[in-house]
Structure formats: C-alpha cells, structure tokens
Amino acid sequence: MKTDWRISSANGVLLAAYIAPTWLIVAYRLFVSPIHALYDRPNISVAIFISDHLHLSAMATVRMAWLLALAKVTVAGFLLVFSALLTRPSIRLSGGCNEALAFALTLGSVISFASMVMASQVAEPEAMRLHATELLLFLGTAILMLVEPQARSAAAPSRSAAAFQPNYPAAAQRS
C-alpha cells in the first residue's frame, strides 16, 4: 500500500484532533466567564499563580484570562489550518503545511510548559500532570518533524532519474 502521508503529518492530525476541540472549549469558557473558567481544572494552576504570586486586581486577572484564551485559540487555529492544508495532496507532498504545524507546536509548547511550571509552583499535581502530558504531545510531534527527512517537491525530479534521461529526444527511440 503506497501512501504519501508523512509520519509527522499523521501525528499532527491526531494532535489537532485532541488539542483543537479541547482548547477551543476551554478558550470559549474563558471568553464567556473569565474568572469562573480560570478556576476550572485546565487553568487552575494559572489562576492560583496569578492570585498568589502576581497579586493582580480582578480586572487584570480577567485580562490575563482573556490573553490565555487568545493564545489557546491561536494554537487551535493553526492546528486547524494545518489540518485543512493537508487535504490538498500537492501541499502535503511539498511540505507546505509544516509552517502552520510548527507555529502551533511552538506556541502550544510554551503555553503548556508555562502552565506546568505554574502548577509545580502552586503544588497542583493534577494540573501538572495534565500540562506535562500536553507538553509531551507537542514535543513528540516536534521531534518527529525534526528527525523526519525533508519532503521533496512533487514537481522536481530526483537526481537519479534525471541522470539517466537523455538530453536529445531521438535517443529514446530504437528502430
């Protein structure tokens, strides 16, 4: 069975299938009710860190919640753009969708790592496990992208095929 899917593309789709809906639901809750949603399980470490260590006012806490929601929507958006770009075989073969995945992985890793550090600072083991799991998902996909060889352009022929092609049209015919 011949397939033109790269392993990092398949892993990116699985990551998008988990992260995009989860983070969009969390971000929606943060937009609708920032203070209440900030104290839900995915964001509890950020909420306690903001209230205990940064001593922010209520309005500043709302702004931080909205900033977190905006960052999560951005990651989910780039993962959805990556998934949409994978539907075109020419883009998938040329590796044109890797930039969207790389940006989502970078920003998602930063968010998950910061949340994991905040969870360890405020002694929230459940939140720390959640963010460590998300971080490992992001880093695993990033490592696959780095280790996997670059995608060849679909339009460019390989060197071995071009080396055996004659440069004049009559050479291929044998009468």
104-126, pLDDT tens digit by residue?
999 999 999 999 999 999 999 99
- Nearest-5° Cα angle at 151, 148 to 156: 155
Residue 31 lies in a domain: yes
The pTM of this model reads 0.80
Residue 118 lies in a domain: yes
Host domain of residue 65: 7-145
Residue 151 lies in a domain: no
Residue 117 lies in a domain: yes
Residue 150 lies in a domain: no
Residue 163 lies in a domain: no
- State the total domains in the chain: 1
Confidence check: pLDDT of 93 > 80 = no
Contact by Cβ (8 Å): 23, 73: yes
Residue 166 lies in a domain: no
Residue 171 lies in a domain: no
The per-residue pLDDT for range 36-49, each reduced to its tens digit, is: 999 988 899 999 99
